[in-house]
């Protein structure tokens, strides 16, 4: 099966200008990219992309799909459909499932379900410790052989420095990155929002920034001699950015990701104690937010990842102190970032796309993230002019927990192609609101 995409605009890799281009997809690969390809092949389906922007398929290195175990919040089927609607073709899913993704069996189950769902490429992470309890290391060699792309106990921090050091040694031996949820329980436990102005106004227990930064600093020191690739999840605090910057300047293999919500919101923006604004790490101070933007611009922070964390409406209605941490992100990330970073002149379109495509692929060694002949046909077509309010009722994710409802944003993905197959087409209502479990 062939698809000929005509007249789409791509970023010129040299000038970063938008240039018009034709792309021929054959089977699952990009066969040809040229300024003009003839429309004379009767076997090729021709798709006109005039006026639309074509990006390499977006990559999200941090999502929670909740399967197995918490299928009421999300399934691999609903999560990958949400990914496709958000323009993502590759997503890496976190192991805080039930059972935890700490065994070859669970990894196989996730990969099989993802294959069946077919809407996005799913790359599983394996746990660092058995059941994410921080007591006993998993069999990382076996997990790697089964297909995990990194190890993490996301959802909880590794409290013991000794355990983290051993984990780094083992991960390094088998060639897996250590992806760290940085959180010191002795500082964070019991808190529900950042230890700042909002917490004091509403007399809520705060989570101080150092709860994260202490782990970032500790882990950078531990990783220094081991030489493992150490990646910081959802970085949120100014001090953490500073520590990563310093480690990079010494040439250490440290990378970091930041979420759209930490880039766009701070604790002052929380209107009232409402769990739609509750996530881990919490929205921090204005100063922290500015440091994250600075870190993203100067390359200290490598990539943007959503930390898509769906929960049920009932769970999120339990209030700021009792509701679980987490917000969804897949279906709003690109338009939010395009509107609030690119259109406001904080990042260029090329910089934003780089942090959501080429860069995540590069740091995790994945063969995706660029448009090139011979690579898998992963593309996201975006209407940079379309402006619409975010409406959680239209989400394909089972999670509706977002603080961004009603935000009017531009730059909606209209067509997503993964491995040569259309996984999202805004114009096709059958694909848009199908009957999915
Ligand atoms: N980010 C969150 O607030 N929640 C995540 C866990 C995590 O990413 O640490 C979840 O699993 O719900
Ligand atoms: Zn986390
Ligand atoms: Zn997470």
Ligand 3 midpoint to CA 307 (Å): 5
Question: In the structure encoding, which two tokens stand for residue 282, read together?
Answer: 């919490």
Q: Are residues 327 and 388 in the same domain?
A: no
Q: Are residues 103 and 33 in the same domain?
A: no
Q: Are residues 16 and 80 in the same domain?
A: no
Flag whether 313 is in a domain.
yes
Q: Are residues 160 and 86 in the same domain?
A: yes
Ligand 1 contact via 212 beta carbon (within 6 Å): no
Ligand 1 midpoint to CA 44 (Å): 43
The rounded distance, in Å, linking the Cα atoms of 362 and 339 is 26
Just list the catalytic residues: 307
Atom of ligand 1 nearest to the CA of 326: 3
- Domain containing residue 398: CATH number: 2.30.40.10
Flag whether 346 is in a domain.
yes
Give the structural domain span for 39.
Answer: 2-54+375-429
Ligand 1 contact via 279 beta carbon (within 6 Å): yes
Q: Are residues 250 and 380 in the same domain?
A: no
The rounded distance, in Å, linking the Cα atoms of 306 and 99 is 23
Flag whether 119 is in a domain.
yes
Using alpha carbons, list the distances in angstroms from residue 210 to 131, 236, 237, 240, 258.
26, 10, 8, 8, 17
pLDDT at 436: 41
pLDDT at 430: 52
| Per-residue pLDDT tens digits of the chain, which is 437 residues long | 899 999 999 999 889 899 999 999 999 999 999 999 999 889 999 999 999 999 999 999 999 999 999 999 999 999 999 999 999 999 999 999 999 999 999 999 999 999 999 899 999 999 999 999 999 999 999 999 999 999 999 999 999 999 999 999 999 999 999 999 999 999 999 999 999 999 999 999 999 999 999 999 999 999 999 999 999 999 999 999 999 999 999 999 999 999 999 999 999 999 999 999 999 999 999 999 999 999 999 999 999 999 999 999 999 999 999 999 999 999 999 999 999 999 999 999 999 999 999 999 999 999 999 999 999 999 999 999 999 999 999 999 999 999 999 999 999 999 999 999 999 999 985 554 434 43
Q: 169, 130 in Cβ contact below 8 A?
A: no
Handedness of CA 242, 246, 249, 253 (dihedral sign): negative
């Amino acid at each position: 099966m062939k698809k000929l995409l005509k007249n789409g605009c791509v970023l010129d890799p040299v000038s970063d200008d938008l240039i018009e281009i034709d792309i021929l997809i054959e089977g699952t690969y990009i066969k040809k990219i040229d300024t003009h390809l003839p429309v004379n092949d009767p076997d090729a389906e021709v798709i006109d992309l005039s006026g639309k922007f074509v990006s390499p398929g977006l990559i999200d290195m941090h999502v929670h799909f909740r399967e197995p175990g918490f299928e009421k919040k999300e399934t691999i089927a609903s999560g990958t459909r949400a990914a496709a609607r958000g323009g993502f073709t590759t997503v890496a899913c976190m192991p805080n499932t039930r059972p935890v993704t700490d065994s070859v069996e669970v990894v196989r189950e996730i990969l099989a379900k993802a294959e069946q769902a077919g809407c996005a490429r799913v790359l599983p992470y394996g746990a660092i410790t058995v059941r994410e309890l921080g007591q006993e290391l998993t069999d990382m060699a076996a997990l790697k052989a089964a297909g995990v792309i990194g190890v993490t106990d996301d959802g909880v921090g590794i409290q013991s420095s000794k355990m983290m050091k051993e984990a780094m040694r083992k991960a390094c031996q088998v060639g897996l990155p250590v992806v760290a949820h940085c959180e010191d329980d002795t500082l964070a436990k019991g808190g529900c929002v950042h230890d700042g102005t909002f917490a004091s106004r509403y007399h809520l227990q705060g989570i101080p920034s150092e709860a994260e930064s202490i782990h970032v600093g500790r882990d950078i020191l531990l990783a220094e001699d081991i030489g493992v690739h150490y990646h910081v999840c959802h970085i949120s605090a100014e001090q953490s950015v500073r520590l990563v910057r310093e480690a990079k300047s010494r040439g250490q293999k440290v990378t970091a990701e930041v979420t759209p919500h930490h880039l766009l919101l701070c604790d002052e923006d929380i209107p009232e104690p409402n769990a739609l604004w509750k996530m881990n790490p919490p929205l921090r101070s204005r100063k922290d937010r500015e440091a994250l933007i600075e870190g993203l611009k100067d390359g200290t922070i490598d990539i943007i990842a959503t930390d898509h964390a769906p929960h049920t409406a009932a769970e999120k209605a339990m209030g700021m102190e009792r509701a679980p941490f987490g917000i969804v992100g897949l279906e709003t990330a690109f338009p939010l970032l395009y509107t609030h970073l690119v259109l406001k002149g904080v990042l260029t379109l090329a910089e934003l796309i780089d942090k959501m495509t080429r860069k995540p692929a590069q740091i995790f060694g994945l063969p995706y993230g660029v448009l090139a002949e011979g690579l898998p046909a992963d593309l996201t077509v975006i209407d940079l002019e379309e402006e619409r309010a975010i409406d959680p009722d239209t989400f394909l994710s089972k999670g509706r927990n977002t603080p961004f409802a009603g935000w009017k944003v531009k730059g909606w993905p209209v067509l997503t192609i993964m491995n040569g197959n259309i996984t999202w087409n805004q114009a096709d209502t059958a694909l848009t609101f199908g009957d999915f479990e």
